[in-house]
Amino acid sequence: MRRRCGGAFPLTTFLLLANCLACHLPSAICFLSSSTHDALLVFECVRRGIMPKVNRRLRDDERRLIRSGAVFVFDERESGIKRWTDGLLWSPSRILWNFLVYRQIEKKAGKGATTSSVTDDSSPLSRGAHRSPSGGANRESEIERALVGSLKSSYPFAKDGLCKKTISIQVHGSTQHLISYYKVEDVRSGRLRTPLSLPEISGLDISPMILQKSNFRNPPDIEVLPDGTLRYRGDGSE
């Protein structure tokens, strides 16, 4: 079975690959929206062994796996990785709900560096905004915020560069990290799907150990069942 170099895998195809390849490959091929539920589903799949964890730092020749749609999950204690490195240059992080979001930059930006590259006509976000009919500006703004947060025009962003979204949780006293890479155009065009849109995993119950409120900047809505177990009910209010 050959792996496609572009676009996204159907989940069933990826799971077959994950079962026969080493666990330093991406945990999943998808896109995490700004909904915490997407991240919870990936963490739960990793906990159940449905998706693999990264078990060591990527070698230089393995960094080709870092591309749009790649999602990596690693446990600090198990992998020995304290700080994830990918060889790319990134803007400073910005908070986006329970995530941190970064954008790839061309070179290290000095203090006060600015650029209008993301707002010109070549930008996927800008093209979408220009196409929007009257009244669609709010929707475009929501999409833009979900993809890049407030990282719009402050740094020399790489043309057709990657975005990176991260979230970390504590499980049994060890920190687990989730790193998601994507390109804006791949998301807007529908080439990448969210975990929540995949019927194979969208209905999974999330383990209470993952749902601990201390794991989140903005705790999700959690229902306590009669037996004392916790069930995810949705993202909390901003």
- pTM, rounded to two decimals: 0.77
Q: Among 47, 41, 32, which Cα is nearest to 163's?
A: 32
Q: Hey, what are 72's tokens?
A: 């990596």
One-letter amino acid at 111 equals: K
Contacting residues for 138 by C-beta, under 8 A, at least 6 apart: none
Please report how the helices 124-131 and 137-148 are oriented relative to each other, as an axis angle in degrees rounded to 10.
170
* Contact predicate 211/232, CB 8 Å: yes
- Residue pair 117/157 in contact (Cβ under 8 Å)? The answer is yes
Spatial separation of the C-alpha atoms in residues 225 and 232, rounded to whole Å: 11
Find all residues with CB under 8 Å of 133, minimum gap 6, and list them: none
Spatial neighbors of 7 by CB under 8 A, at least 6 apart, are 69, 186, 191
Helix/strand/coil for 102: strand
Task: Please report, in tens digits, the pLDDT of each residue of the chain (238 residues total).
Answer: 333 333 444 444 344 334 333 345 566 677 777 789 999 999 999 999 999 999 999 889 889 889 999 999 999 999 999 999 999 999 999 999 999 999 999 976 555 444 333 333 334 444 444 444 555 667 666 777 767 776 777 789 999 999 999 999 999 899 999 999 999 999 888 888 899 988 889 999 999 999 988 999 999 999 998 988 888 898 876 5
- DSSP, collapsed to helix, strand or coil, labels residue 175 as strand
